[in-house]
């Protein structure tokens, strides 16, 4: 007998929702996996994300961290475009490898009434040494919080 | 008798350098002012920076904070594309006003041999309530650090 | 005609409250000033705060940043021991001068319903170069938030 | 044939060194384990660490995060009291359980020439839900960095 999932949306439902609300942004991203307390999101690195020299830009790495956390939070609270990032602390650790995707692995550390806190480790595909780490706080709209508690 | 400036580059020289090394990125930004320990950088908000609903995207706000600090650091150390962001902590405080530019005001808190630390307050033009605040650390390449100490 | 203060408690009332709820902690601190959107708090440096070599310990500097923000938040929401720190990002910039107090200057950047965000610049008394900077988020209990909106 | 350890000091050597250089601070802490890229440090919670209501104080939790990272860094670079914290970002997630120790689990994310970056997850003993998470950057003195590269 399996334990009930705490997810409100699965990977396909999340992808469809993000493509609907953030069409131009989401086109570069993909959900590799999601569980009750983790999410793996991929940035398909294109020329638009690169700085001279072939490295992925800081804002693109930030965007991956932010979206990995957003996928995790929406996965738990459902279709709530109003969940907003209130804080992000990010360390840039190494130059990404050129020519490969970036993978963001998010852990959900707290799913509270008002705030959700995640951390995200970002690596170049095929390389375990982290390119960046980030921690993010999302503010949850009261309606979503109430629904999550009722559900 | 005026005190000698500690700046290695003035606003025009910085703009020319950034347009040269980051042409696609820098096109959206402008230096309003720079002194020995402060820099004001403007994001000319265009449709590409917006999320549905008209708010400026998180990665665009992050990019403004990062560039305001980069302008400050390059202003002090000169043409050193290799200065890199190692850490950024950013708080998102309010939705930006629609239809106006974002202004990032950077203070240089420490200009050390290996590290420079800045904070940046970001407001919508014409509104004093901050949209975001960020603190950033830049790692300074050894050659630039040696030149700055010799200079 | 003067504008009404937004403060729920003045410096004396705050000192009395903190001495009551955190007697052993507050003994080392003092409020130098508080306004609607700023607070200045002093750490009277004693041997207990020092590391070998005479520098003030990291946890003591953290405690000053946290208390300066707490004083600011309580000044606005009143006697609410339940306001809690949810995030702090702190940069350690310089060794403090020995034999003098540390001064923490807090700016209130946002006083929202659920969250308050501050930053704090910490200097050795008589020296303008910052020893540390910190940004802090406090979570506000719902009752205090309702009272503040009604007030 | 086993791979050579990258550690310059083992747990006993680290404990002896910390008791020597930070006698009053280290008395409350203990190293549970250390590997090439992880360290587990325990805060033996005493009355001095508590706030009214029985919760562990913020500065005590900060001190545990900072010491877990310091143990990790010294384990790699050897006896170098001069390694200093330059940045810490910490999220406070839950009230610790009363009457039990706090355990800080540190991961080494980057051991560079000039900077080491770690994150630390802090839990009450016997409870997997994190009380706090922190990320920390240490600045490495040049001599230690050179020795580590030669070693």
- Nearest C-alpha of chain A: how many angstroms from D81? 24
- pLDDT per position as a tens digit, B95-106: 999 889 999 999
Please tell me the predicted confidence (pLDDT) of residue A35. 98
Confidence of residue C20 (pLDDT cuts 50, 70, 90): very high
Q: Which residues contact residue D12 at a Cβ distance below 8 angstroms, ignoring those fewer than 6 apart? A: none
**Location of structure tokens 């690169």:** A50
CA neighbor of C78 nearest in space, from C9, C6, C147: C9
Percentage of residues in chain B with pLDDT exceeding 70? 92
Q: Please state, in angstroms and rounded to a whole number, the distance separating the CA atoms of residues D120 and D90.
A: 9
Q: Give domain status of residue C1, yes or no.
A: no
Q: Give domain status of residue A3, yes or no.
A: no
Nearest to A114 among C87, C89, C114 (CB): C114
Residue A40, strand partner residues: A33, A105
Range of the domain at D44: 11-150
* Whether residue B151 has pLDDT greater than 50: no
Q: DSSP string covering A77-103, please? A: H-S-TT-EEEEEEEEE-SPPPTTS-EE
Please tell me the predicted confidence (pLDDT) of residue D1. 46
CATH of the domain at D83: 3.10.129.10
* Whether residue C1 has pLDDT greater than 50: no
Please tell me the predicted confidence (pLDDT) of residue C35. 98
A86 touches chain C (CB under 8 A): yes
Mark B75-111 as b/e (b = at least 16 C-beta within 10 Å): bbbbebbebbbbbbbbbbbbebbeeebbbbbbbbbbb
Q: Give domain status of residue C69, yes or no.
A: yes
Please tell me the predicted confidence (pLDDT) of residue C47. 81
Q: pTM above 0.90?
A: yes
Say which residue, B54 or D25, is predicted with more confidence: D25
Say which residue, B140 or B144, is predicted with more confidence: B140
CA angle B57-B115-B74, nearest 5°?
Answer: 65
Say which residue, B1 or D51, is predicted with more confidence: D51
Q: Is D91 in Cβ contact with A109 (below 8 Å)?
A: yes
Within a 13 Å sphere around the CA of C140, how many CA atoms are in the beta-carbon half? 25
Please tell me the predicted confidence (pLDDT) of residue B80. 78
Percentage of residues in chain D with pLDDT exceeding 90? 74
Within a 13 Å sphere around the CA of B104, how many CA atoms are in the beta-carbon half? 33
- The ipTM value here is 0.91
Say which residue, A53 or B8, is predicted with more confidence: B8
Q: Please state, in angstroms and rounded to a whole number, the distance separating the CA atoms of residues B74 and D61.
A: 37
Q: Is C139 in Cβ contact with A86 (below 8 Å)?
A: no
Per the structure, how many domains does chain D have? 1
**DSSP code for C100:** S
What is the DSSP pairing of strand D102-111 with strand D115-124?
Answer: antiparallel
Average pLDDT of chain A, as a whole number:
91
Determine the 3-state secondary structure of A142 from DSSP. Answer: helix
Determine the 3-state secondary structure of B127 from DSSP. Answer: coil
- pLDDT per position as a tens digit, C51-75: 777 789 999 999 999 999 999 999 9
B117 touches chain C (CB under 8 A): yes
Please tell me the predicted confidence (pLDDT) of residue B144. 63
- pLDDT per position as a tens digit, B41-87: 999 998 888 877 778 999 999 999 999 999 999 999 999 768 999 99
Determine the 3-state secondary structure of B27 from DSSP. Answer: coil
* Whether residue A151 has pLDDT greater than 50: no
A-to-B residue pairs, Cβ atoms closer than 8 angstroms: 58
Q: Give domain status of residue A61, yes or no.
A: yes
- Average pLDDT over every residue of A78-82: 82
**Continuous segment of H or E residues that includes residue B67:** helix B58-77
Q: Give domain status of residue D5, yes or no.
A: no
Q: Give domain status of residue B20, yes or no.
A: yes
A92 touches chain B (CB under 8 A): yes
Please tell me the predicted confidence (pLDDT) of residue D130. 98
Q: Give domain status of residue C29, yes or no.
A: yes
Handedness of CA A98, A100, A101, A105 (dihedral sign): negative
Mark D113-146 as b/e (b = at least 16 C-beta within 10 Å): ebbbbbbbbbbbeeeeebbbbbbbbbbbeeebbe
Nearest to D21 among C52, C81, C84 (CB): C52
- Nearest C-alpha of chain D: how many angstroms from A20? 32
């Amino acid at each position: 007998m399996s334990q009930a999932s705490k997810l409100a949306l699965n990977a396909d439902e999340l992808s469809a929702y993000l493509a609907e609300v953030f069409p131009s942004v989401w086109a570069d991203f993909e959900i590799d996996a999601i569980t009750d307390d983790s999410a793996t999101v991929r940035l398909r690195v294109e020329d638009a994300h690169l700085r001279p020299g072939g490295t992925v830009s800081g804002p693109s790495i930030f965007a991956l961290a932010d979206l990995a956390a957003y996928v995790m939070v929406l996965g738990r609270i459902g279709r709530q475009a109003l969940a907003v990032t209130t804080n992000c602390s990010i360390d840039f650790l190494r130059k990404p490898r050129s020519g490969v995707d970036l993978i963001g692995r998010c852990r959900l550390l707290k799913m509270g009434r008002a705030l959700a806190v995640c951390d995200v480790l970002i690596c170049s595909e095929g390389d375990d040494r982290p390119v960046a780490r980030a921690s993010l706080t999302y503010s949850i709209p009261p309606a979503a919080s109430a629904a999550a508690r009722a559900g």
